[in-house]
Chain A
Amino acid sequence: MAKHNIPEVKADLENTTGIWGMAIDQDLCTGCQACVAACAMENNIAFVGETDAGYGRSLHWLRIEHAFEGEFPEVQTSGFQPVLCQQCGNAPCEPVCPVFASVHSQAQDLNLQVYNRCVGTRYCANNCPYVARVFNMRDYDRPEPLSNQLNPDVTVRRRGIMEKCTFCIQRIHKVEDQAKSEGREVLDGEMQPACAQACPADAIIFGRLDDPESRVSKLAKTGRGSQLFEDLGTLPRVTYLKEEKDYGRLG
């Protein structure tokens, strides 16, 4: 494994599984952007317009990457890869925040962005190897009556605030609260973030990593799984299942 000039993984973190996790099957992902739109609608993400989007200021919490390789006619694609906050167990964004806006949730094992603490230093985004964080460069206009559509469960962010994927924590709370009021545990598959819920190919699977029987735990352990920049020691909670190209794969 390549050596990197980064902090050592804390020993006590290395063996943690995390609580919530996601598996993304790149063999099934068709790059259709349904997750991107669903995420924007659920999380009150502002649109920035053509010019700001061109400067890379668009506020996508989730983007789908791909690349072409080779020259015609030997062109291959790298496959579609939805990239979102990896909710690292050992997150590089957290130690650099001077105001503790980017903190680790002990209860949910997620990377939080506490909007009311954020002062917009953007250190966290600069330290994120996944470019998963986006910054509100302006107060983006949302002409009336578009604001009717805002989700009351999610804070509307203003200028100068860093934001990123939350694993739809508002839905986690809702599902947990529902389960608790009914005196039971959260069922596998009951909690679905907006992206997984919309995905027409069912390529995004969400669930509990600390439950070895959950669908996501089982998928993450198949031989096809890998994580983004695994060797950085960030302990991502998102596992990518690699694309299969060979004809006749069994099962």
Chain B
Amino acid sequence: MTEQLSRRDFLKLVGTGAASAAVLTGCGPASRYVTREPYTKMPEYTYNGQSTYYATTCRECAAGCGLVVRTMQGRAIKVEGNKYHPVNLGKTCARGQATLHSLYNPDRIQEPSSHVRGDRDFSTTDWDTATGIVAEALKNPAETAFLLGLAPDHLFDLVSDLCKAIGAPAPLRYGALSLFEARTTLGEASRIVFGKPDLLFFDLGNADVTFSFGANFLETWISPVAYTRGFAQMRRGTNRRGYLVQFEARMSQTAMKADEWAAILPGTEELVAAALGKLVAEQKFGSAPALFEAVDVAQAADAAGLPLETLERYATILAQAQNPLVIPGGAALGQSNGLEIAQVILSLNALLGNLGKPGGVYHSPASPLTNSYRRPASIKEISALIEKLNSGKIKTLIVHGVNPVFELPTSLGFEAALAKVPTVISLASFPDETAILADYVFPDHTGLESWGYQQVSAGTGQTLLSGAQPVVAPYYNTKSTTDVLLAAAAVAGGKAAAALPFKDEIEFIQGKLAGLVGAEGGFFNAADMPSFWAEFQQFGGWWKNDPSLGTPSAASALEKKLTPAAAQPEGDGEFHLLVFPSPILAEAGANKPWLQETPDPTTTVMWNSWLEMNPVTAEELGLTDDDVVRVSSAFGEVEVSVYKVPAIRPEVVAIPFGQGHTAYGRYAENRGANPGKLLGAQINAAGDLAFAGVKVKIEKTGKKRPLSRLEGRTRLEAAENKG
């Protein structure tokens, strides 16, 4: 055959035959293998083939947006926003949309299991054994520690009650976002300046001039959907279009939306804010208050790398504004003098007279269940926990809703401390780094499968308790952690059983909600628990119709004396390193394939991490796009591809946080770099890490690793199309 008919021709012939067979039969027989499976017992309200919508709360970050999930035949199909929910009013972010990829992730942990630490083979146990193991831990309360996720949810309340009753150390809440937002610093500054610790509410929507010091409120900061709504309202403006000036060394997505980007050197925020304060005070009142008196404006401008005229112009804009607002963001507060920076910025608001006024600063409403703001753990408190783990005082560590091995800076030594704990129990839904290093994994349901509520700490002016309910039945043999703890407490007996006398999770939640039944001023009023419970599920929570914001008072804040200074960076490298949470992946999005494929808003890079570098710097170092460099600080090093971008200061480089997992499923593993390895251990006066005050060295490796970018495609193809 080869003599007469070339292989190529033969393939053509076969190809034609196969193609026509496919065309002719393609529409046919496959359909005969399909069967339809009706419900055996149909849930109430459901029609066959028609969607049912359930209201719940998004668990992808701690902001607590309300969701309405479209389900069909028992499957969750699409996430939509809950249009009544005060935080997001029907809107969602990309992470919220992709929460379905948590639920149906192919790498979920499917059943309770135990394994050898570090091993990826899990051996199945059953829930009774699991309950017994947790009960053992509860019998030795002084030697048991809980580390929970950032969201102040019903589980946190339950564990807090439990720990208090049995005398265990109070549970710590932590997430990488609390580190990058320096939440403790903001709360502490609020306590010092306004006399009340609080994640303040910044009324962006009604402000006409907003100065933001590194607050990436359009990306991940505190409550991004709520603040994006506020931003849109500000831009639409009732009288005039709101004006936004962003102070940070790298042009973030938020800075790209700003009218002006003031690229100040990291660590000079206090100088700049104080100088602005002085200039504004002089323009408005003729003289500066004691707080801002000492600053030398020209020196401050020089240190920050801003022309003096620009700084003066900014001051004029601020002084002439009707509703000015200044926001302290995470990148500004994550400095060695972060607490002072936060104080100066909050005092600047007091000087502008916007406290408790539209477009100004308010105290967030308290949760309907507690009176005080319960902040997440600072790095100082986490370090204390790590010390305890190292000293062997903790025999059992129970981790839920957070992946500390990845989310804590490596320099804190959490991984090494974990090795010294005899029993580590992870309640993760995914085989993340911490679960791999645990002895037991007792998987909780994912967000869309579980009951609960969440106290919303910021983002809305209304008192709010966001409600969660399962939208689909649990897909795997997972069990709610609340139920595990309730069962374990019953087994452990004694104080634990007495503290948690609940039949199941729902009874516990209803117990907490009892105080709201019959409460006045709510979105709905219900006289008894069954009807309250029904409406709580129907509307996705309970909230008051009218805002209940508090007016901060800063009586003596401006009278203090202050000598502003620049922050002290850590390390002896030549570049300032800015680590920012990836706007798309944030701390836990890396295992969701569609988030990986969603282009980064500023660089359009997909599926990887990158090092942002100014082209001038790149040229000096002889680097270009896609060159792999070794970035090293005193604490560690990572290798990452270069992405040249003009919108960053030449002496600053930036790496997004969110990639660089060594575990966490097929989509996250061995992808990109984890800049957490570079972060230091310098702690500011509030106990937060000075993550934005690290200096690094950059070395060429000679390797190249191309980044997948969306922009390359469109540029290239459009050019080709136009010929």
Contacts and interface: CB of A to CB of B under 8 A. Distances in A.
Interface of A: 27-28, 30-34, 36-38, 40-42, 47-51, 53-56, 58, 60, 63-66, 68, 70-73, 75, 77, 80, 126, 129, 131, 143-152, 194, 197-203, 244-245, 247-251
B259 interface: yes
B647 A68 contact: yes
Interface residues of B, number: 87
A31 B253 CA distance: 7
A47 B97 contact: no
Contacts of B92: 34, 38, 198, 200
Given A37-B595, A58-B606, A200-B93, 5 more contacts: A53-B708, A80-B601, A146-B101, A197-B81, A200-B91
Interface stretch (B233-241, B268-276, B294-302, B426-434): B233-241
Contacts of A50: 596, 606-608, 671, 708
Nearest to A83: B714
Interface string B468-498: 0000000100000000000000000000000
Nearest to A145: B104
Contacts of A68: 251, 645-647
Contact of A77 (B78, B256, B606, B649): B256
B97 A32 contact: no
A75 B646 CA distance: 7
Given A197-B81, A199-B91, A53 B597 contact: yes
A64 B598 CA distance: 10
Contact of B228 (A32, A71, A73, A249): A32
Interface of B: 72, 75-81, 88, 90-98, 100-101, 103-106, 218-219, 224-225, 228-229, 231-232, 235-237, 239-241, 243, 251, 253-254, 256-257, 259, 261, 263, 317, 475, 583-584, 593-599, 601-602, 606-608, 614-616, 645-650, 666, 671, 706-714, 716-718, 721
Given A31-B257, A143-B106, A149-B100, A37 B607 contact: no
Contacts of B231: 28, 30, 201
Contacts of B77: 149-152
A30 B101 contact: no
B584 A56 contact: no
Contacts of A147: 104
B669 to A, nearest CB: 12
Nearest to A245: B259
B94 to A, nearest CB: 4
**Residue from A53, A71, A148, A200 whose CB has the most chain B CB atoms within 10 Å:** A200
**Residue from B91, B263, B645, B706 whose CB has the most chain A CB atoms within 10 Å:** B91
Top 9 A-B pairs ranked by shortest CB distance? A56-B713, A54-B708, A50-B607, A37-B94, A37-B97, A201-B232, A200-B228, A143-B106, A249-B241
Contact of B236 (A28, A34, A56, A71): A28
Nearest to B83: A197
B583 A32 contact: yes
B94 A34 contact: yes
A126 B647 contact: no
Contacts of B80: 197-198
Contacts of A31: 253, 256-257, 601-602
A131 B710 CA distance: 12
Contacts of B90: 197
Contacts of A151: 77-78
B55 to A, nearest CB: 15
Nearest to B597: A47
Contacts of B717: 56, 131
B708 A28 contact: no
17 contacts: A30-B253, A41-B97, A50-B608, A50-B708, A58-B606, A60-B599, A64-B601, A68-B251, A72-B616, A72-B646, A77-B256, A131-B714, A146-B105, A152-B77, A197-B80, A197-B90, A250-B240
